[in-house]
Amino acid sequence: MTPIGRSRVLSIVVCGAGPAIEFAGFVKMAIDRGWDVQVIATTPALAFFDQAAIEALTGNPVRSQYSPPGSPRSRIPEAIVVAPGTYNTINKWALGIADTYALGVLAEQTALGIPIVVLPFVNIHLASRAPFQQSVKSLRAEGVSILLGHGAFEPRQPRTGGEGYADYPWHLALDEVDGMVGTTDEDPDPDA
């Protein structure tokens, strides 16, 4: 359930990649940092986490499709995090392809200039491809923060997820988005 008084809205776009099996922990981390979380899932991502558990945790529905006219709408977020961001989603987004709800949201919000942080999850072979490198460059030119490389997500060999994804740096996405939009302190230090 969403704590009373929470006002900062964070939309999280989750894609279908290995770290998404630990997605609930990331959502909890965002809530603990004072965010009211709205989840947007790509269709493949729905197989990686328990949708009902995420809805209970956030107090908001998980959205993966457009709603019919007249249906309740999500709130406009202060920021968006895409994590884990897949090769497919990043490339289609950079090309302006909006053939899913998640890509439609990303296309529109990028144009509006809302702060967006991407924590990719791609292997070294996909990350080395020219189309992917061009997509990263293109999105960065539009103001999207992509946490890729030294000190961020570093691509690894394929099929090395192994027993878990404990080293996937979820916290970096929240650190970045908090830095972009600021944080709220319930009890500010009067001596500061």
Q: How far apart are CA 34 and CA 37, in angstroms?
A: 9
Superfamily of domain covering 8-67+74-180: Flavin prenyltransferase-like (3.40.50.1950)
**Mean of the per-residue pLDDT values of the chain:** 91
64-93 pLDDT per residue, tens: 999 888 888 889 999 999 999 999 999 999
Q: What are phi and psi of 118, to 5 degrees?
A: -115, 125
Q: Are 67 and 160 in contact (CB under 8 A)?
A: no
- Decide which of 141 and 189 is more confident: 141
Neighbours of 30 (CB within 10 A): 23
- Asked, as a colleague might, if the bond just before 84 is cis with ω within 30 of 0, I would say yes
pLDDT at res. 96:
97
Q: How far apart are CA 55 and CA 63, in angstroms?
A: 10
Q: How far apart are CA 91 and CA 71, in angstroms?
A: 30
CA 27 to chain centre: 10
49-63 pLDDT per residue, tens: 999 999 999 999 999
CA 25 to chain centre: 13
150-172 pLDDT per residue, tens: 999 999 888 766 556 888 999 99
Q: Which one, of 4, 175, 16, lies nearest residue 87 by Cα?
A: 16
Residue 190: pLDDT over 60: no
Helix (H) or strand (E) holding 27: helix 23-32
What is the mean pLDDT of the segment spanning 31-44? 97
- Residue 150, amino acid: H
Domain regions of the chain by residue span: 8-67+74-180
- Please provide the distance, in angstroms rounded to a whole number, between the alpha carbons at the two ends of the chain: 32
Q: Are 123 and 158 in contact (CB under 8 A)?
A: yes
Q: What is the pTM of this model?
A: 0.90
96-111 pLDDT per residue, tens: 999 999 999 999 999 9
